[in-house]
């Protein structure tokens, strides 16, 4: 379904067009009606969906229709514009043509049927344009995807079949358009760092991300001749370097891998790491070299991200990691209680250095972190009568998917910092009624909660509860409810694919405009601007 807005300072015209035109039958959603160009432009900037069609008058206060069309063209160059105006002067028609206006209708001759016919033509044209674009993209990618699929199957056969002779293997590769004629092969993998984080930041699925990385890699290495690239899964690419004398070319291979990592980071804002394995000469040796590199991720744990490393199996310490558990648990608990962010930073850095120096097994380290967080959750629940919103299952899944110590340390610090921020909302008051109210709000954030309902839940007089809450927390109850809801809104905006309207409904706001107004007052930006800002910040951090 397409979208449209109507802009006119003549209210009867707005009312007439919004009611008389059969929008649904035309498969058009009317997003709104506005009294001048400036009001329409501001609404567009706050809207979750941009209008495909703009129907506007010319002469209006603050911003006329031609100015609106010119401004909106910089936001969405592919929209269609219809002018409905009293002006029939030639210079207005000239300006409209320059702005690529589809139709120019005089109000005195306006009929709904005429406008509906114009809208039908526009939606048909927009549909055709969308179909052509989709078809072009499909055929553009089909060739690449078919070629990639052939290479992927050949790689899987190489890794999991044991009957290859080198001659048969090279011949099979040639049939599939892959030149592997060489004495020896340097085995390498290129792996996307923090894949889950990359999918969230770029709002792309993991297959799209690895496909983009592979394309850049192909562009860099295609004219080098001796590099052959395979896609192993949604995180890892396999690279074979064909050589007759690997000892001479080791530094060249290292340099090219580092060049690829730098360029992928620059062009895609995606971090990848490279691992160089053994130099081999036979298909069975390729199996033996690559499978551990691809499957035994624990040996990557202490590697630096966004760099090239020589892959080797690690020896891990047998020392009991829990000997230092009480010390770190105590320090972290104290810093959270005191809201001491700098103390948390120093402690986690010290912890990370200790883990790296001790060289514990990665599974052991992750288990240790999970246990500490679960113990902190239990302490909060027992002492503050507060149930954490973070489930044990979600914690386990998140921690288990982290590959490197540097990522785990950053995530650990961020999690503790967010936990401290959450606790600051509920530890100000010592009154059990207020703590219970706060607990209820956080656990029922999706519901519409009024002061009277909360007072009734606590068996208190509403006026008394209102005064008590304000005295204890220095904020009135409704403001507190909105603060908790808006904090949840920020999390949903950044961590889900829900629209602003869906989040507004989910948090119990029946009016989306009111939710956006509250959000802007609290955060300083609209929800859409907040997401754009956060994405730009994360992009800058990855540079």
Q: What is the CATH number of the domain that holds 41?
A: 3.40.50.2300
Distance from C-alpha of 321 to C-alpha of 319, rounded to nearest angstrom: 6
- Residue 477 and residue 469 in contact, taking contact as beta carbons nearer than 8 Å: yes
Last residue within a domain, chosen from 376, 395, 424:
424
> Do 171 and 303 share a domain, yes or no?
yes
Could you tell me if 227 and 351 lie in one domain? no
Whether residue 115 contacts residue 25, with contact meaning beta carbons closer than 8 Å, is answered with no
Count of domains observed in the chain: 4
Do 198 and 306 reside in the same domain of the chain?
yes
pLDDT tens track for 126-172: 887 777 666 555 545 544 556 777 888 889 989 998 777 899 899 88
Predicted confidence (pLDDT) at residue 221 exceeds the cutoff of 60: yes
Kindly state whether residue 315 falls inside one of the protein's structural domains. Answer: no
**Which residues have CB under 8 Å from 432's CB, separation 6+?**
385
241 lies in some domain: yes
Residue 141 is predicted with a pLDDT of: 54
Q: How far apart are CA 159 and CA 483, in angstroms?
A: 54
pLDDT of 206 above 60: yes
Most confidently predicted of 19-28, 257-266, 442-451: 257-266
Place of tokens 């340097």: 186
Q: Residues of 372-397 as b/e, b for ≥16 C-beta within 10 angstroms?
A: bbeebbeebeeeeebebebeeeebee
Domain that holds residue 385: 321-424
pLDDT at residue 535 tops 80: no
396 and 495 share one domain: no
What Rg, from alpha-carbon coordinates, does the chain have? 30
Q: Which residues pair with 227 in a beta bridge?
A: 241
- Tell me if 140 is assigned to some domain: no
User: Is there a domain that residue 518 lies in?
Assistant: yes
Mean pLDDT of 372-387: 69
Domain assignment present for residue 249? The answer is: yes
Q: What is the pLDDT of residue 180?
A: 92
The answer to whether residue 205 scores a pLDDT higher than 80 is yes
Position 84 in a domain: yes
pLDDT-derived band at 236 (thresholds 50, 70, 90) equals very high
The whole-angstrom separation of Cα 373 and Cα 387 is 13
- State the CB neighbour count (10 A cutoff) for residue 496: 12
pLDDT at 369: 95
101 and 23 inside one domain: yes
- 387 pLDDT exceeds 70? no
pLDDT at residue number 134: 66
The mean pLDDT of the chain is 84
Within 13 A of 70's CA, how many CA atoms are on the CB side? 10
Instruction: Let me know: does 304 contact 406? Beta carbons within 8 Å.
Output: yes
**Statement to judge: residues 420 and 446 lie in one domain:** no
Residues 302 and 172 in one domain: yes
Q: Which of 96, 138, 119, 165 is nearest to 20 (CA)?
A: 119
HSE-up (13 A, CA, CB side) for residue 219: 10
Domain boundary among 287, 310, 333: 310
Helix, strand, or coil (residue 186): strand
Asked if pLDDT for residue 13 goes beyond 80, the answer is: yes
Average pLDDT score over residue span 344-352: 96
Instruction: Please identify which residue in the block is written with the tokens 């039908």.
Output: 120
| Separation of alpha carbons 60 and 87, rounded Å | 12
Residue 215 lies in a domain: yes
Tell me: do 538 and 407 sit in the same domain.
no
Do residues 168 and 184 both lie within one domain? Answer: yes
Please tell me the predicted confidence (pLDDT) of residue 542. 45
Residue 414, CA distances (Å) to 245, 348, 417 in order: 47, 10, 5
The average pLDDT across 265-293 equals 92
Condensed to tens digits (0 to 9), the pLDDT of residues 58-90 reads: 888 888 888 888 888 888 877 888 888 776 554
Instruction: Decide if 407 is inside a domain.
Output: yes
Which of 310, 333, 348 is the last residue in one of the domains? Answer: 310
pLDDT given at position 76: 81
**Of the listed ranges 343-357, 389-403, 435-449, 475-489, the one predicted with least confidence:** 389-403
How far apart, in whole angstroms, are the C-alpha atoms of residue 444 and residue 441? 5
Q: Find the mean pLDDT for residues 462-466.
A: 93
Please name the residue that has the structure tokens 């859409």: 528
List phi, psi (to 5°) of 432.
Answer: -60, -30
pLDDT: which is higher, 540 or 253: 253
| Residue among 483, 465, 466, 494 nearest 522 (CA) | 483
d(CA 315, CA 302): 11
pLDDT at 19 over 60: yes
CATH number at residue 306: 3.30.70.270
Q: Give the pairing of strands 227-231 and 2-7.
A: unpaired
Are 25 and 114 in the same domain?
Answer: yes
Name every residue whose Cβ is closer than 8 Å to that of residue 537 and which is 6 or more positions away in sequence.
none
Q: DSSP letter string over 368-394?
A: HHHHHHHHHHHHHHHHH----SS-HHH
103-132 pLDDT, tens digit per residue, is 777 777 778 888 888 888 888 888 877 776
Structure confidence at residue 259 (pLDDT):
93
Q: Is the pLDDT of residue 367 over 90?
A: yes
- Give the per-residue SS3 of 391-427: CHHHHHHHHHCCCCHHHHHHHHHHHHHHHHHHHHCCC
What's the N-to-C CA distance of the chain in angstroms?
A: 38
DSSP, res 322 = G
Q: Which runs of consecutive H residues, i.e. helices, occur in 269-324? A: 283-295
pLDDT above 90: residue 193: yes
Same structural domain, 406 and 441: no
């Amino acid at each position: 379904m397409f979208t449209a807005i109507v802009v006119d300072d003549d209210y009867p015209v707005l009312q007439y067009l919004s009611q008389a035109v059969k929008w649904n039958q035309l498969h058009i959603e009317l997003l709104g009606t506005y009294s001048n160009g400036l009001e329409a432009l501001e609404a567009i900037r706050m809207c979750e969906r941009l209008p495909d069609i703009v129907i506007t008058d010319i002469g209006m206060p603050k911003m006329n229709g031609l100015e609106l069309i010119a401004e909106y063209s910089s936001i969405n160059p592919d929209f269609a514009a219809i002018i409905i105006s009293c002006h029939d002067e030639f210079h207005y028609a000239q300006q409209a043509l320059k702005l690529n206006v589809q139709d120019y209708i005089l109000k005195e001759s306006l009929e709904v049927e005429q406008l509906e016919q114009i809208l039908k033509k526009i939606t048909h044209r927009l549909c055709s344009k969308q179909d052509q674009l989709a078809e072009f993209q499909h055929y553009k990618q089909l060739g690449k995807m078919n070629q990639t699929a052939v290479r992927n199957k050949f790689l899987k056969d190489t890794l999991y079949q044991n009957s290859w002779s080198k001659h048969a293997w090279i011949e099979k590769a040639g049939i599939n358009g892959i030149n592997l004629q060489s004495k020896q092969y340097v085995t390498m993998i290129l792996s996307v760092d923090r894949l889950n984080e990359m999918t969230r930041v770029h709002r792309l699925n993991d297959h799209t991300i690895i496909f983009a990385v592979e394309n850049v890699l192909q562009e860099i290495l295609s004219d080098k001749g001796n590099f052959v690239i395979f896609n192993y899964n949604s995180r890892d690419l396999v690279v074979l370097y064909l050589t007759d004398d690997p000892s001479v070319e080791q530094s060249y291979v290292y340099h090219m891998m580092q060049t690829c990592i730098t360029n992928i980071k620059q062009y895609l804002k995606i971090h990848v790491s490279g691992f160089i394995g053994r130099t081999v000469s036979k298909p069975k040796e390729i199996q033996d070299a690559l499978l551990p590199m691809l499957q035994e991720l624990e040996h990557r744990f202490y590697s630096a991200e966004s760099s090239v490393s020589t892959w080797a199996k690690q020896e891990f310490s047998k020392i009991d990691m829990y000997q230092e558990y009480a010390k770190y648990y105590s320090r972290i608990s104290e810093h959270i209680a005191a809201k001491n962010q700098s103390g948390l930073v120093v402690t986690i850095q010290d912890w990370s250095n200790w883990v790296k120096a001790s060289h514990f097994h990665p599974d052991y380290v992750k288990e240790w972190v999970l246990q500490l967080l679960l113990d902190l959750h239990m302490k909060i629940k027992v002492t503050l009568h507060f149930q954490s919103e973070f489930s044990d299952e979600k914690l386990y899944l998140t921690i288990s998917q982290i590959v490197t110590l540097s990522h785990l340390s950053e995530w650990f610090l961020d999690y503790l910092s967010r936990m401290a921020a959450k606790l600051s909302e509920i530890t100000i008051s010592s009154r059990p009624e207020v703590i219970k109210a706060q607990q209820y709000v956080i656990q029922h954030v999706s519901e519409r909660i009024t002061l009277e309902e909360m007072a009734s839940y606590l068996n208190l007089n509403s006026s008394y509860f209102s005064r008590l809450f304000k005295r204890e927390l220095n904020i009135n109850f409704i403001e507190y409810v909105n603060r908790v809801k808006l904090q949840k809104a920020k999390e949903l905006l950044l961590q889900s694919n829900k629209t602003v309207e869906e989040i507004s409904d989910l948090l119990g706001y029946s009016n989306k405009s009111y939710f956006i107004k509250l959000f802007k007052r609290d955060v300083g930006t609209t929800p859409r601007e907040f997401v754009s800002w956060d994405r730009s910040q994360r992009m800058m951090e990855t540079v």
